[in-house]
Structures are given as structure tokens and as C-alpha cells.
Amino acid sequence: MNKKDAEGYFEKYRETLQQELVRLASYVRLFRRLHERKADRLAEMNVAPAFFSTTIDSLFSAIVLWVDKLFGSRSERGLLNLLNFIEQNCIIFDIKELKRRGNYPDGNWMLQNREPVTLESIQANLNRIAEFKPLASFKLRRDKFQAHFDKEYFFDRSKLHEDAPLTWADLEQVVQLGKKILNSYSADYDGNMYAIEPINAADVDHLLDRLHRQNEK
């Protein structure tokens, strides 16, 4: 792949991964928010219990599947594949290429104090993924329940929770891990960084609070 094609591929890859990370962040935020609002809006949720319980279950399945798609070794266009692409095309992250793309003059602040993208720095990100222990729980849940029913867990859901525990922190941190890796190379490429924030995260609050005010009347 020549340099021009590699740049175009990275820009498209970066944009698409950003969209999928935002999707995951939105799933996580809404899933947690619905659980939190049970504390003060359970009566409102019970107006349509089938909708809210099904939504919560569906969101968790989506979270598990999206984490596996973004971080799994079998995913053909996830973060591991991105790191492999970057390893094969390190030249486009060279500071000289950043200077050319941004048309920066010598001494511009954008060119100062930048760590080069190296095989060692790429390996460090691969290690971050490999050492993030909750990924094993996401993978087990995906393989043994969310994507396929495994006989070991089909009749014993408590065993699934024991063998593949997940916490709220795990769900938040997996989003942050993806954000950190993507942004590190996006910043090296042209200085752009993504917020990776959920879209319309407060919508469910508006809905539940409006219904609560109506019930009070």
C-alpha cells in the first residue's frame, strides 16, 4: 500500500472506529442509567415493564457483542487490526508527514515534544489490550451465551456470572481503553482527538421525569 492509500485508509478506519466506540459508549451509558433510575423511577418503568426489561437485556447483549467486535482477536476490523495496519504503515505517522499534512512551519507547537510511533509503542498498546482482564469475561459471555447457547451455562445462569464477572467499572473502562488507543494515533496523525461521548444520553431522564410529573398531577 502506497503512502497516499495508507493515509486514506487510516482516515476512513479512524472515523468508522470512532463511530463504533460512540455506539458502545451510548449502549453502556443507557444501560447503566436505566439501572440507576430504578431507584427513583421504578413506578414509571413499570408502566411499560416489558419494554424496559427487554431494552435493558438487549443493551447488555449489544455491549458484549460490540466489545468483542472492537477488541476480539477474530474481529477483522477492530482495534487489533488497526494496530497491525499501523505497524505496517508507520511512515504515515512520522513527524515529517504531520508537518506536510498540516502545512506547519518549522518550530510550530504541533511539532514539539512528540513521541514517535514505533514498534515498541504499538506493542505497548497491544499489551494494554492483552492485560485488560475484563476482556476475558466479555469474550466468554459472547462465545458461551450472547452469540451461542453453551450447555454449561444454558440452565445455570449463576455460573455464567461467576465465571465471567463484570462490573460497572469494567464497562466504563473498556470504552476508555478504546478511546485512548484510537486517540493516541489520531493525535499523531494530524492532531485530531475524539471525545467518544454517548449521543443524547439524557433522553431517558427526560422521558421518565416527564412521566413522573404527569403521574404526580
Least confident of 55-59, 170-174, 207-211: 207-211
Average pLDDT over residues 168-195: 96
Q: What is the mean pLDDT of the chain?
A: 94
Q: Name the residue range of residue 172's domain.
A: 3-216
pLDDT digits (tens, 9 = 90+) for 60-114: 999 999 999 999 999 889 999 999 999 999 999 999 999 999 999 998 999 998 8
pTM equals 0.93
pLDDT digits (tens, 9 = 90+) for 144-180: 999 989 999 999 999 999 999 999 999 999 999 999 9
Residue among 75, 104, 103, 88 nearest 5 (CA): 88
In three state form, how does the secondary structure of 157-189 look?
A: HHHHHHHCCCCHHHHHHHHHHHHHHHHHHHHHH
Burial class (CB in 10 A: 0-12, 13-18, 19+), 181: buried
Number of domains in the chain: 1
